[in-house]
Chain A
Amino acid sequence: MALVINHNKPLSTSPLKTSAPLGAAMAFMGMEGSLPLFHGSQGCTAFALVMMVRHFREAIPLQTTAMNEVSTILGGSDQVEQALVNIVKRAKPKIIGLVSTALTETRGEDMKGDLKLIMAGNAALADTKVVFCSAPDFDGSLETGWGKAVGAMIDALVEPPKGAAPLKRVNVLAGCHLTPGDIEALKEIIEDFGLEPVILPDLSGSLDGHVPDAYVPTTLGGTTLEEVRGMGRAMLTIAVGEHMRISAEKLHARTGVPYLVLDRLTGLEAVDRLMVALSTAAAIPVPAKYRRQRSQLVDAMLDGHFYFAGRHLAIAGEPSFLWTYAKLAAELGAEIVAAVSALPSPHLSDLPCERAVIGDFEDLEDQILEAGGADLIIANSNGRLIAGRLGLAHHRAGFPVFDRLGAAHQTTLGYRGTRDLIFTLGNILMERPSHGHDACTHTEHSHGDPAIAVG
């Protein structure tokens, strides 16, 4: 149980938060033939775009309504209309995710109403699905916007099943803490149970770093509109991450498909829950492949727990990211001495640490200093400044990771993903046996020398 502290500081220093519209755009990026559009000034788009380019190392289709002072005062409906028409003319996307920003929400535009009029008045837009998502920057963070966009797509696209029998299909509402690599792994698992996965949103199709044979101005790969429409025919919905709960409820209300919220898919017991759910849904036993992988993970935990036991970890990120890493670390005997979340979320009080702070990297640094140091920081690339200043190891994960290769393929999902993560983190901890006088836990390292453990 953790005490959740929110200082509500007037000054955020070295923000951990990113903006909600960015989260929404990223969710829309998981659709095939998609081109998200921010309704705001061009800077809103430029910053979000550059951040995603740096993280994914991919071209990011993202446009702007390019609001200026005058259109902000008079209303931006014309800008939206022009933008939609121009985008359809140039890029012919199948879906445009229209995302509001703090600028247009502060003014208080009736975007839904405006959009109706725009769609009715432009025949050219008939072949493009425009999904509106309200995600002002002044409310929440990446997870917030991602969740809102998924909810908006469910509302706008999913068709009620009309009494048809469910197919051997499983919906997955993927949280924004899952990488394209994670989603790829999850798809494979579901398929191995003889089930057909429909992932919303599916970044593994669009942002997995492939080299197409021609230039495409929209996303290439991702969930198709057809797949989303047919989500009502699934036998089960699995939501991954607490922030997907609202979307799961929404989908359930719309289609009656039963749902299951899995808090994470990293860690032995967490993956066990997934296996049981899939095995039950498919009415087949867990395939031998996964029994083998489970055994490998158990072995990794046996080999690895020495290096985690009693070590001090500092973790910062979006709630679901923090939750996933903190739970795994605690399951291996590590102590979470600093936990910082970009956002409040009810389940954070169940974190396996004394307290969790809603805040920024300054809070993370303060927590670490208060704890007398830490062995390892797990956070996005912006944690590097603190790690450098305090001389601590830093494992890059979450969003954005721009100073390491392969952020999109970092896979921590499933038995195999968990196994590899234990190795990665365990190796860092093994290399740095101690962060200070009180941290030595493994007897071979009691002199604080950098020797590598045997056996």
Chain B
Amino acid sequence: MLKHKIAELMNEPGCATNQAKSDKDRKKGCGKQLTPGAAAGGCAFDGAKIALQPITDVVHLVHGPIACEGNSWDGRNSWSTGSTLYRLGFTTDMQNLDIVNGGEKKLYKAIKRAIARHNPPAVFVYQTCVGALIGDDVDAVCKAATERLGVPVVPVNAPGFVGSKNLGNRLGGEALFEHVIGTHEPDDVGPTDINILGEYNVAGELDQFRPLLARLGIRLRCSITGDARYLDVASSHTAKANMVLCSQALITLARKMKETWGIPYFEGSFYGISDTSDALRNIARMLVEQGADATLSQRTEALIAEQEALAWARLAAYKPRLAGRKVLLYTGGVKSWSVIQALQEVGMEVVGSSVRKATEADKKKALERLGGDEDKLADAITPKDMYAMFKDGKADMMLSGGRSQFIALKARTPWLDINQERHHGYACYDGMVELVRQIDLMINNPVWDQVRKPAPWEEA
């Protein structure tokens, strides 16, 4: 069953990358074969957890040995404006005997206990490698628990060894589609309700676009899954349009929501100024097509004009401080191109952008913005080469995720976190200004003068 599901996810008709492949290549699926001893990144379980953990008011229960939850709980920087239940780590902490005797009974007891103590609207149960290997039937336990305990218990079948983090994201989306979305009929359906898929409210970024939507009278029915409540996800099938962020992760869910409930979707981004404008335009267009008030498009244009002017004006102030500085973008997906424009606007030179996790479309857009210079499109850069880039002065700064930070820092080079552990929101117009402000604070920090100087006794 799981095998079938994975095969389906690997052959996504809504995915441009997949459709561009030959029939033969498509059969191989889109998971890259990992190289033992030279692999980095999370597993499918990690991905499922990233996609679903931001649902704030449910119990997220991991059925596995301690490593899966004990080494990772509360480590993802998704914020909540309500419940904090999602920040607790729940696990069956499988022991020797559970593996010998099977862990299904323990899992049932764990679900029961979690419901008794926390009274959540639902429990999400995550399968892991060990549970899968010994054949614990998580689907059956969840079904029995739902029936007997009267609370929805949702199985998330994404054991780590089935593949990458990205596959896990998608399996998380599958769990929502199969068990959650469409299970609740809200009584307040409106003509301008939308969902945003693949947004996890990292560092509270939702607060950077909720106000924009509010000004247009658009209601965010549900962000899937940043700052989401269970009932919002269960009601999200009533929205009039879906916007898909981080397209590789939840495109299948968007397509299935379209096929099942007729919700149109588009892929967009809230990173970057003109991208934000495009996204707002698309939302307005879709809602109007779905029967919303036709003036929405005009109001949207007015808002865009106002916000863009404001943002570009605020960015201009940074120009003298940042012009000519060379920045290396080492991230993936949409961020490989979406922030380039803003950086160029303040006069920075993007000396390279990593496209190792980007789609073909992402790559094309990045290339376009880098003036067609293919040398600047990097796949994976080895830590050694990266270190050399900083030491040789080929880059003055790096924007990346936490993993590579020490390569920059140990080369005494400014670094800014733009991935999931970041502490500032960088979405929409305000977010882009914030990003540039942070770059300014980092790259022009007085600390660099001192830390780069050799000790007095080492000076020639």
Contacts and interface: CB of A to CB of B under 8 A. Distances in A.
Interface of A: 9-15, 17-19, 21-22, 37, 40-48, 50-51, 53-54, 57-59, 63-69, 72, 79-80, 82-87, 90, 101-103, 106-107, 136-139, 141, 211-212, 214-215, 217, 382, 385
Contact of A72 (B88, B133, B164): B133
A346 B127 CA distance: 34
Given A12-B69, A63-B39, A138-B96, 19 more contacts: A10-B92, A11-B92, A12-B89, A13-B88, A17-B66, A19-B66, A19-B70, A37-B37, A41-B161, A42-B40, A43-B45, A48-B71, A50-B75, A53-B403, A64-B39, A102-B65, A106-B134, A107-B133, A141-B70
B162 interface: yes
Contacts of B89: 12-15
Contacts of A37: 37
Name the residue in B65, B72, B412 with the highest tally of chain A Cβ atoms < 10 Å from its Cβ: B65
18 contacts: A10-B106, A12-B90, A13-B89, A14-B88, A15-B89, A18-B67, A41-B160, A43-B42, A47-B46, A48-B71, A50-B403, A63-B37, A68-B34, A106-B99, A106-B134, A138-B65, A138-B94, A382-B74
A186 B110 CA distance: 44
Given A102-B130, A217-B384, A385 B87 contact: yes
Q: Which interface residue of A18, A69, A217, A382 has the most chain B CB atoms within 10 A?
A: A69
Interface in B412-448: 412
Contacts of B129: 40-41, 72, 102-103
A86 B38 CA distance: 7
Given A14-B73, A103-B130, A138-B96, A215 B42 contact: no
Contacts of B41: 42, 46
Interface in B82-120: 84, 87-96, 98-99, 106-107, 109-110, 113-114, 117
Contacts of A54: 75, 402
Contacts of A43: 42-46, 68, 160
B143 interface: no
Contacts of A87: 37-38
A369 to B, nearest CB: 13
Nearest to B402: A53
Nearest to B91: A12
Interface of B: 34-46, 61, 64-75, 84, 87-96, 98-99, 106-107, 109-110, 113-114, 117, 129-130, 133-134, 160-164, 383-384, 387-388, 402-403, 406-407, 410-412
B65 to A, nearest CB: 4
A137 B66 contact: yes
Closest 3 pairs between A and B when the two form their complex, measured CB to CB: A43-B43, A83-B37, A86-B37
A139 B161 contact: no
A133 to B, nearest CB: 15
Contacts of B38: 63, 86-87, 90
A104 to B, nearest CB: 10
Contact of A46 (B40, B69, B84): B40
Contacts of B134: 106
Nearest to B406: A59
B163 to A, nearest CB: 7
A215 B407 contact: yes
A368 to B, nearest CB: 16
Contact of B36 (A9, A11, A83): A83
Contact of B113 (A11, A19, A138, A382): A11
A141 B66 contact: yes
Contact of B90 (A13, A47, A83, A107): A13
B136 to A, nearest CB: 11
Contacts of B388: 215
Contacts of A11: 61, 90-92, 109-110, 113-114
* Residue of A54, A65, A138, A141 with most chain B CB atoms under a 10 A cut-off: A138
A37 B403 CA distance: 17
Contacts of B160: 41-44, 103
Nearest to A87: B37
A340 to B, nearest CB: 14
Nearest to B103: A10
Contacts of A41: 43, 129, 160-161
Contact of A212 (B64, B94, B410): B410
Contacts of B161: 41, 67-69, 72, 103
Nearest to B98: A138
B37 A58 contact: no
A47 B72 contact: yes
A138 B99 contact: yes
A51 B46 CA distance: 14
Contacts of A12: 66, 69-70, 89-93
B72 A215 contact: no
A99 to B, nearest CB: 11
A304 B82 CA distance: 41
Contacts of A102: 64-65, 67, 94, 99, 129-130
A309 B273 CA distance: 59
Contacts of B109: 10-11
A18 B65 CA distance: 10
Nearest to B45: A43
A48 B42 CA distance: 11
A64 B98 CA distance: 25
Contacts of B69: 12, 15
A59 B407 contact: yes
A19 B65 contact: yes
A51 B71 contact: yes
A139 B412 contact: no
A375 B66 CA distance: 30
Contacts of B384: 215, 217
A46 B46 CA distance: 9
A135 to B, nearest CB: 10
Contacts of B90: 11-13
A9 B113 contact: yes
A22 B107 CA distance: 24
A85 B38 CA distance: 10
Contacts of A80: 36
B65 A137 contact: yes
A215 B411 CA distance: 8
A138 B36 contact: no
Nearest to B387: A215
Nearest to A73: B133
A116 B10 CA distance: 38
A51 B121 CA distance: 30
A22 B36 contact: no
Contacts of B410: 59, 211-212, 215
A42 B34 contact: yes
A63 B410 CA distance: 21
A106 B44 CA distance: 19
Contacts of B99: 102, 106, 138
A18 to B, nearest CB: 5
Nearest to A43: B43
A18 B130 contact: no
Contacts of B117: 13
A221 to B, nearest CB: 14
